[in-house]
Amino acid sequence: MFEQNLVTDMSKRYGYRETSPAIWLRPESKRVTIGEDNLGHVKSPNNNGPVLFDVEKYNKAKTKFEKGEISRFERAMAGWSSEYAPKYQQMIEGEVQLRKEGSNKRVDVAGLIEPTDFATLKTTQRVVAVFTKIEEIHELLSTIRVLNIDDLNGVAIYDLNSLDVDPIQRAGTHNLPYEVSAPGITKTTLEPYKYAWRVAFSNELALVNFDLPNLEDLVMQQITGKLDIRRNKDVAAKFNATGNVGSQANWKTLNTAETRYLNSAYDDVKELLNLLYAEGYGQAQYVGMHPDVWDAFYNNLNPPNTNSLNPFAMRPIDYNNSFRQQSSLFPGVTFVVDTLFTTNRFYVWREDSIFHIFGGVRAVQFENNEIGYRGTTFRSYFNTALQRSALLKGGTGVIS
């Protein structure tokens, strides 16, 4: 059904024990459900299990809150099922009360034991920690076809090829009409692969008094976005593996007098756009390149001004890993600049060129009393395939 990890099942060794039912994020139906079916070596979400949270209802409430139609409390409670809403409400009200009292702890989930409770058992230290959240944002997933599924069965993609380029011909008096060739159908099966990671804390951590509200929450924030990065890297691998077409040259090469660039970045991009358009599926939707290539592209379109103290064009510094930008020279096309692209290439594509399947996330708590730690295990299921190679074109050698 999907790729299995070739690793011994550690859940049956060393005292490992899952301590709560598994929670599944279901991307297609936009629900968070509890429970799963154990299908031998595979665990799959249970469609009959209780619904913990409805993401779509929450998003609708969030929109109403932004318009001033509902209160902040109504937005916070939106999406929770009737069974779990009272528990969540109790936690919110408790945290509000603690903040009024000047406490930075959290209700029921703080989990950090004060060292005074263990004064006679173990000497504890006060730890002052500096927490920095690292954010890395990428745009590639939003430029291709993403298929969200609620199970792990995968999908079959049927690609109907185009008809003859010019099937409508003038018919002579005694000639048969032009016979259109039947379009071919290409089937691609895309099954999700399993990715896993684990967050664990030693039981002795509870003996340390941290100047932090909740270390576990902060660690979870630190890994927020790592799954998105992993999925974007999966997509980037398809771009970077594509071949080169057309003829390109270095965009940074200047003439002897250093008054102009010898090679035109505009012509090179236009050439790839024309090659994709000639495939018969319409114009390209995106042009992608690494930030270093984007800088060279920008400077190449703005020739040196010898009358200025600074003869070369400058652009604002952007520290984002990825961003989008429009260009009036290429209407209808969005430029996507991303650090995951190869540093000396650029690409043009339509979103149907690459398909990405996403089967959600599984999370379950565990503990190991023999070794003395506890934590949460996460699994996610996704895969990426180049569906139509004709709709993705690559160029190279534009910088050195």
Question: Tens digits of per-residue pLDDT, 216-241?
Answer: 666 666 666 788 889 999 999 999 99
Does residue 114 surpass a pLDDT of 50? no
222/197 Cα distance (integer angstroms): 13
For Cα atoms 125, 126, 128, give the angle at the middle one, nearest 5 degrees: 140
What's the pLDDT score for residue 218?
A: 65
Using pLDDT thresholds of 50, 70 and 90, give the confidence band for residue 304.
low
- Residue among 256, 342, 257, 331 at smallest CA distance from 294: 342
Using pLDDT thresholds of 50, 70 and 90, give the confidence band for residue 305.
low
Does residue 215 surpass a pLDDT of 80? no
Does residue 320 surpass a pLDDT of 60? yes
Which residues make Cβ contacts (< 8 Å) with residue 88, sequence separation at least 6? 77, 80
Full DSSP string of 92-115: HHHHHHHHHTT----TTT--PPPG
Q: Please tell me which residue, 184 or 380, carries the higher pLDDT value.
A: 380
The ranges assigned to domains in the chain are 10-145+192-238+358-383
- Residue among 239, 185, 251 at smallest CA distance from 349: 239
Using pLDDT thresholds of 50, 70 and 90, give the confidence band for residue 120.
very low
Q: Give me the mean pLDDT over the 189-202 stretch.
A: 83
Residue pair 245/277 in contact by the 8 Å Cβ criterion: no
User: Quick check: helix, strand or coil at residue 37?
Assistant: strand
Give the chain's mean pLDDT: 78
